[in-house]
Amino acid sequence: MKWNTIQWLFVAGLLFCSFMKAPAIKNNERNNQFREPDIKTGADQTELYVPYLRGKRVAVMANPTSIIGKKHLVDSLKSLGIHIVKVFGPEHGFRGNASAGAKVKDETDPATGIPIISLYGSKHKPSKEDMADVDVLVYDLQDVGVRFYTNINALARLMEACAENNKEMLILDRPNPNGYLIDGPVLDMKYKSGIGMFPIPMSHGLTVAEFAQMANGEGWLANKEKCRLKIIKVTHYNHAMPYTLPVKPSPNLNTQQAVLLYPSTCMFEGTYINLGRGTQFPFTVLGSPELKGKYTFHFTPVSIKGMAETPLFMNQVCYGLDLRNYDTEKLRKSGKINLQWIMELYKASPHKEKFFDSKLSNQMGKIENLIGSGLFRQQIIEGASEATIRASWEPGLSNYKKMREKYLLYP
């Protein structure tokens, strides 16, 4: 059958209309669509560092997030013939079976027979003796991009030990799941503590390798030492790119929702509010028995071995906010830590004198140490607006953002 001109024009018109109705893929969406599957962590690129490690005495800082594909880094390197003389263990331990804040003892890894030296127990930094039989130290821990997540503190101490003993550090870099977020006050160093050691904002927008370069460049190591670094970068990664972690970074950050809410909800560690510790969904719910009648949502914290043995308000019904289905894309679009939740729960609290009482809450620490500012507590108490609170973070936050640019490995 031959088609006439009118029929051909009709078909052409239909095709044109369907093309016009199809949603356009923006450049950044196209990049994410095709590049995210191509992300390779530093550890995954064994061809770039395994030959370098051969014949060397290797120490490794690792935990369950230290993986090549689906296999643990240490197990993989050992099977590839790399001579691992010891493993340094961070908070939660090498195999991740210790609770948050719990001291971890030295031990021997039953799977490999490799000695494990804890840096979250009687000491926090390798000794000269620990480093004597090491040629190179490999660092591979997944970070989540906030100041009070202690991995970067461990990294800095390891860098100091390497610098003091003339050893090189090999960093196998990983994406920051909150890499888009640079927010919060820069730490006022008079509030320096184990949950905040460096003058960076609450959410710093760096990978661990970028932080290491910053610590070197800004003279933050002891005696302004500089550590010799060898970095294996992540491929096809940028800071704006969403990234889902393949392994939970710690026992209480057990979902991607928790990881993305963590910069906003961890500040409740400095309050008389339970933030989900003692449940299977920490950092995604907030509540207190004192909020009964103010909220209908409720949960009951219990003792959970390896997560929270003695959570705040244990075995008591807590009422408050359920953020498990909160659209975290709102945080990404705003580029800000959420301050409304802490403002709301303080306002709803019937006993406001307890709200910031760290002795009562017995959680991570004082709100000043978490936030990094001596103003925040009083600002919340006085009902200051979010705009006023954010204004008090300047010019420190803007100055940090400019300084940060010098150390970026990724756009």
pLDDT band of residue 362 (cuts 50, 70, 90) is low
For the chain, give the mean pLDDT.
89
Structure tokens at 333: 């679009």
Domains of the chain: 46-232 (3.40.50.12170), 256-374 (3.90.1150)
pLDDT band of residue 105 (cuts 50, 70, 90) is confident
Higher pLDDT: 248 or 90? It is 248
Q: Is the pLDDT of residue 47 over 70?
A: yes
Report yes or no: 101 and 255 within 8 Å, Cβ to Cβ: no
**C-alpha–C-alpha distance, residues 240 and 165, integer Å:** 37
Give per-residue pLDDT as tens, 363-400: 667 999 999 999 999 999 999 999 999 999 999 999 99
% of the chain beyond a pLDDT of 70: 87
Report yes or no: 202 and 147 within 8 Å, Cβ to Cβ: yes
pLDDT of residue 341: 98
Structure tokens at 402: 């400019």
CB 25: neighbour CB atoms within 10 A? 12
Q: What share of the chain is helix, strand, coil (3-state, %, to 5)?
A: 35, 15, 50
Separation of first and last alpha carbons in the chain: 57
Interior angle at CA 315, CA 313 and CA 319, nearest 5? 60
**C-alpha–C-alpha distance, residues 101 and 366, integer Å:** 15
Q: Is the pLDDT of residue 6 over 50?
A: no
Q: Is the pLDDT of residue 16 over 50?
A: no
Higher pLDDT: 19 or 148? It is 148
Higher pLDDT: 290 or 16? It is 290
**C-alpha–C-alpha distance, residues 383 and 338, integer Å:** 16
| Max Cα–Cα distance, the chain, nearest Å | 89
Structure tokens at 388: 């006023």
Strand 168-172 versus strand 136-140 pairing type: parallel
Give per-residue pLDDT as tens, 165-214: 999 999 999 999 999 999 999 999 999 999 999 999 999 999 999 999 99
**C-alpha–C-alpha distance, residues 241 and 238, integer Å:** 6
pLDDT of residue 89: 85
Q: Is the pLDDT of residue 254 over 90?
A: yes
pLDDT of residue 282: 98
- Average the pLDDT over each of 95-104, 224-233, 272-281, 289-298 and give the range with the smallest value: 95-104
Helix/strand number for the chain, H first, E second: 15, 14
pLDDT band of residue 92 (cuts 50, 70, 90) is low
Higher pLDDT: 5 or 387? It is 387
Structure tokens at 76: 């993989």
Structure tokens at 173: 């870099």
Q: Is the pLDDT of residue 23 over 50?
A: no
Q: Is the pLDDT of residue 354 over 50?
A: yes
**C-alpha–C-alpha distance, residues 112 and 244, integer Å:** 29
pLDDT of residue 109: 86
Q: What φ, ψ does residue 393 adopt, rounded to 5°?
A: -85, -5
**C-alpha–C-alpha distance, residues 104 and 234, integer Å:** 30
DSSP string, 258-271: HHHHHHHHGGGGGT
| 3-state secondary structure (DSSP) of residue 148 | coil
